[in-house]
Structure 1
Amino acid sequence: MADRADRARTGPVLRGYLLASRLIPALAPRHLRKRLALGKEDPDRWREKLGAATAARPAGRLVWFNAVGLGEVLALRGLIEAMAARDAALSFLVTSSARSSAQVVAANLPERTLHQFLPLDAPAYLARFLDHWRPDLSVWAEQELWPGAVVATARRGIPLALVNARITPEGFARRQRARGLFRDLMSRFARVDAQDDGTAERLRALGAEQVQVSGSLKIAGPPLSAAPEALEAARAALAGRKPWLAASTHDADEAEAIAAMRALADDPAWLLLLVPRDIARAEAVAAELEAAGLPHARRSRGELPGPEHKVWLADSYGELGLWYRLADRALIGGSFDATEGHNPWEAARLGAAILHGPCTANFRADYEALDAAGAARQLAPGELAAALTDEAGLAAMAQKAQALVAQSRDALAPLAGQLLELMERR
């Protein structure tokens, strides 16, 4: 990997960034303490962002994965398991940036895997991080690259790979304005894998070399976890009911779900499990349910739904694995407005039939694959109630979606092997 480091480009924009990043320690501690006071940082772990580890490095070879958002972090789990299956002595480190990701990640990490927060992009913090963890391979997910971290890693001869990359036409237009910086960073990656052909073409146009198309990692991850005690209590409370799920919802999705429940009002067995994407909206959602005449229980208050309730408002964080296990049909939120959709594969892995609106640009390839296979159904406004009652059609859809998940999981093995080969060339 020394040859690649020697050939790596460092243009004026990257040089300027690296010089400016030396000033970050002058501002970072004060900034992080302000965020800490606002509850935006973990009081026990905020120093990880200064490169101070809060866990010991495991013995043996270590693969470091980094992703930005919670969804991207969770998508890495299938690849981690595939690599672990090939080398039982490997350990894994996953880094992310947002505090909100840590709780969910901790409950869903594969074996021999640790989570830390990615340090801020300053040379001193990155040196402290790399000195402690000494990774043998660095794998970045999606396409949000921290220039300082990429450069510092490459300088140590640690091979870099970019996986699960997806760049929309809009994202491509933004990156073109900093094409030189992106090209310089990509010259340090030994392997680049895109989710789709369009992304591969855009990456090549931005200077990436030897781009391969491996599909989306979000399809093949293991199911989200659920606390056994909570699952047992919920299943007991739902005995005799017909639960259905509206997951990661926004205003427009909730309007469709409420209208569907009112249309199904003649059958008291129906129960909506409503999971807002942002639980800070719970009070507003509860008010909408009241206005619609839909009695509800609230998860945040420890309430279980009784026979009088039409809705169980899931205003708790990090429990999607619970809700998907309780319902065999799910409306995936964000698909009736400009949000443009959320991840459908979490539902598919746990056997829920997937229903969605027409707005799915953020996961266009995923929904197109599901719809083409008869594994999901796109709905127009007002069609949800009828779709929920199509028992045979929903069951067939769920089976087809699980078949796609199994097929994608099998396809992870070659990628896992090729990433492990990068360590052997070091």
Structure 2
Amino acid sequence: MGRRLYSTTLYALMPLIWRRVWREALPERSRRERLGHIPAYDGERVLWVHAASVGEVTTARSLIRSLIDDYPEHRVVVTTMTATGARQLQALFADLVTHHFLPLDFPGAVRRFIARLQPELGLIVDTELWPNLIHAASDAGAPLAVVNGRITPKAFRRYRRFDALMREPLRRLAWVGAKSGEDAKRFRTLGVEARNLTVTGALKFDLEVEETVRGAAEALRTSWGERPVWIAASTHEGEEQAVLEAHRRVLHQHPEALLILVPRHPQRFDTVHELCLSSNMTTVRRSHHESVGPQTRVYLADTMGELMLLYGCADAAFVGGSWLPDVGGHNLLEPAALGVPVLSGGCLESLREIAEALTVDHARLEVADGSALARALLALFDDPSARERLGAAAHSIVETHRGALALTRRHVARLVEARRLAHLAAEEEVDASSRT
């Protein structure tokens, strides 16, 4: 009854939903994918990963790479909800994976999608639980699992309000790998069977930094000469102005300092560029292949898939989304994995365990606003040994907490093998029936 009412509501809201996703498109891709119209994968062995947007794609990077390496006989298909997630996927993996947009959760659309994809296993990254999609996969015999599963207190309260809708789909999940014990408790309360639930830790800790990235970062930084460099990454509207004001204060004491500014969303690149120009700071754009010169004060990184490279160029990193309660922060571990000192605001609801781990071991500085950010940066620039200690502490946290990927890979292998055996048993049953 709950799912029927949910589907009816979706159909009623279809004009509004369609208008929202209309913007999330790529020129070369048909919007019919939103209704499940993808090519049929008949005869192919498919492993499917759903990573909603940029953050989830980044989180799943090591897992997707392991699927490519562990299952060379399979095609790895990755779905996203957003165009920015699709661009990030393309930047990271090019043609090593196949991308589609996830269909909207209309019953017919998700049944069509699953029927054409025919995945041996589906992996949902973090938590994007669509009831009709889960039912369609389950009804088709395609096991669906959640990896790096997390449920924030706010999301938990929302799911509890819709218990009649969510409990049955959650029971149908083949496995949930939860980020933390608290996340596991919430999944269990919502209906996930205890035997299908494992605390794996956070996949983000298993981030691997390729040597080519380190080398490219070193070369790029060397080309800029001896100067303080800091990065403000994954920033949102309302944060860039404070970041630029902090940079202005830094420039008073270090007039040669360089800010690398990386807005979160590509559709805001031009707007942020105009904001930089209005601040009267000499600004160059990476997408225009403009060189950083001695007079450059802001390097606008308006490209996709290069964040680790740019973190590697910085003496300190402010991670955006952390001054906005509705966002709840972004990946703090990317700069940490490179040994770059991590600064952020206090709005970190979406990655509370990671933020606390960094804070307890004095591996993150919390700054309340642009003024506090400027003071923290100046202190780090003026004390190289403190900067080195903070970066080393952050790197140590990443190394200490690795392991989620290995545990997740073991469970993925178990699920793939179980599906293979079930398929063989079904074939034998058909053969036996035909002989009789």
Check whether TM > 0.5.
yes
Shift of 1:186: 0.6
State the partner residue of 1:163.
147
Shift of 1:95: 0.8
| Separation of aligned partners in 2, 1:193 and 1:69 | 19
Please give the secondary structure, in 2, of the residue aligned with 1:326.
Answer: coil
| Separation of aligned partners in 1, 2:198 and 2:293 | 52
Moved more, 65-74 or 225-234: 225-234
Structure 1 residue 176 corresponds to structure 2 residue 160:
yes
| Separation of aligned partners in 2, 1:282 and 1:107 | 17
* Counterpart pick for 1:248 among 202, 223, 234: 234
State the partner residue of 1:105.
89
| Separation of aligned partners in 1, 2:261 and 2:135 | 44
Given that 1:83 and 1:417 are in contact with CA atoms closer than 8 Å, whether structure 2 keeps it comes out as no
Shift of 1:367: 1.1
Residue deviations 1:33-88 (CA, integer Å, cap 9, x gap): x679x75422321232232335x749763221113222112211222334455444
State the partner residue of 1:129.
113
Please give the secondary structure, in 2, of the residue aligned with 1:363.
Answer: helix
* Counterpart pick for 1:78 among 30, 41, 62: 62
Q: Mark the runs of 5 or more structure 2 residues left unpaired by the alignment.
A: 420-436
* Counterpart pick for 1:189 among 159, 173, 184: 173
Flag the 1:229–1:158 CA change in 2: closer, same or farther, 3 A: same
| Separation of aligned partners in 1, 2:152 and 2:214 | 39
| Separation of aligned partners in 1, 2:417 and 2:201 | 24
State the partner residue of 2:428.
none
| Separation of aligned partners in 2, 1:342 and 1:122 | 30
State the partner residue of 1:13.
2
Shift of 1:192: 1.6
| Separation of aligned partners in 1, 2:270 and 2:28 | 29
Given that 1:79 and 1:221 are in contact with CA atoms closer than 8 Å, whether structure 2 keeps it comes out as no
Q: Which amino acid aligns with 1:218?
A: K
- In the TM superposition, 1:12-161 aligns within 5 A as 12-17=1-6, 39-45=23-29, 46-53=31-38, 57=41, 61-109=45-93, 112-161=96-145
| Separation of aligned partners in 1, 2:140 and 2:190 | 25
| Separation of aligned partners in 1, 2:255 and 2:243 | 19
Q: Mark the runs of 5 or more structure 1 residues left unpaired by the alignment.
A: 1-11
Q: Which amino acid aligns with 1:217?
A: L
* Counterpart pick for 2:395 among 380, 397, 402: 402
| Separation of aligned partners in 1, 2:282 and 2:78 | 42
Flag the 1:189–1:376 CA change in 2: closer, same or farther, 3 A: same
Greater length-normalized contact order (CA 8 Å, ≥ 6 residues apart): 1
State the partner residue of 1:307.
294
Percent of aligned pairs with the same amino acid: 34
Residue deviations 1:216-246 (CA, integer Å, cap 9, x gap): 2222234499999996984464133332111
TM-score by length of 1: 0.83
State the partner residue of 2:359.
371
Please give the secondary structure, in 2, of the residue aligned with 1:157.
Answer: coil
Given that 1:95 and 1:118 are in contact with CA atoms closer than 8 Å, whether structure 2 keeps it comes out as yes
Flag the 1:279–1:44 CA change in 2: closer, same or farther, 3 A: closer
Please give the secondary structure, in 2, of the residue aligned with 1:424.
Answer: helix
State the partner residue of 2:429.
none
Given that 1:258 and 1:289 are in contact with CA atoms closer than 8 Å, whether structure 2 keeps it comes out as no
| Separation of aligned partners in 1, 2:6 and 2:409 | 33
Shift of 1:108: 1.1
State the partner residue of 1:199.
183
Flag the 1:288–1:88 CA change in 2: closer, same or farther, 3 A: closer
- In the TM superposition, 1:351-366 aligns within 5 A as 351-366=339-354
State the partner residue of 1:6.
none
Please give the secondary structure, in 2, of the residue aligned with 1:115.
Answer: strand
CA-atom RMSD in angstroms:
3.5
Q: Which amino acid aligns with 2:201?
A: G
Given that 2:46 and 2:74 are in contact with CA atoms closer than 8 Å, whether structure 1 keeps it comes out as yes
Flag the 1:296–1:200 CA change in 2: closer, same or farther, 3 A: same
Flag the 1:340–1:39 CA change in 2: closer, same or farther, 3 A: closer
TM-score by length of 2: 0.81
Please give the secondary structure, in 2, of the residue aligned with 1:92.
Answer: strand
| Separation of aligned partners in 1, 2:248 and 2:53 | 32
Given that 1:253 and 1:336 are in contact with CA atoms closer than 8 Å, whether structure 2 keeps it comes out as no
Given that 1:66 and 1:141 are in contact with CA atoms closer than 8 Å, whether structure 2 keeps it comes out as yes
State the partner residue of 1:8.
none
Given that 1:143 and 1:166 are in contact with CA atoms closer than 8 Å, whether structure 2 keeps it comes out as yes
Q: Which amino acid aligns with 2:33?
A: E
Flag the 1:42–1:329 CA change in 2: closer, same or farther, 3 A: same
Flag the 1:336–1:240 CA change in 2: closer, same or farther, 3 A: same
User: Which structure: greater helix fraction?
Assistant: 2
Residue deviations 1:192-224 (CA, integer Å, cap 9, x gap): 222122222222222222132212222223449
Residue deviations 1:382-426 (CA, integer Å, cap 9, x gap): 433213433222223333333433444444212211122122223
| Separation of aligned partners in 2, 1:127 and 1:289 | 47
Size of the alignment, in residue pairs?
409
Given that 1:237 and 1:304 are in contact with CA atoms closer than 8 Å, whether structure 2 keeps it comes out as no
Structure 1 residue 347 corresponds to structure 2 residue 335:
yes
